[in-house]
Amino acid sequence: MGRWDEAINAKEMYAPPPKIEPVVDEIVSRIVGKKIYARDPRLIQLVVKWKKESNKRDDDLTPNNYLADPRKREKLKEVLNPNLK
């Protein structure tokens, strides 16, 4: 016989899993002024563009601090929150 605490409720058996909110990028969200998810395609597109512009080798592990550059911060605001203007 099985244990009662391992029993499955029939109503929960086919219930969909609860909605899980994607990861929010806190730093970029503070810069932009609204909630920005870490997997936002616009954010990823900007980072990939900036990475290509830096011409770093693939084995170079030095961190890219794009958020320290005021021009890149302004570009983030412009792209991710166009209503600011």
At 84, is the pLDDT very low, low, confident or very high (cuts 50, 70, 90)?
A: low
Residue 5 above 90 pLDDT? no
pLDDT above 90 covers a percentage of the chain that reads 48
Burial of 81 (0-12, 13-18, 19+ CB in 10 A): middle
Q: Per-residue pLDDT tens for 29-67?
A: 999 999 999 999 999 999 989 988 888 887 888 888 899
Residue 85 above 60 pLDDT? no
Residue 74: the pLDDT is: 93
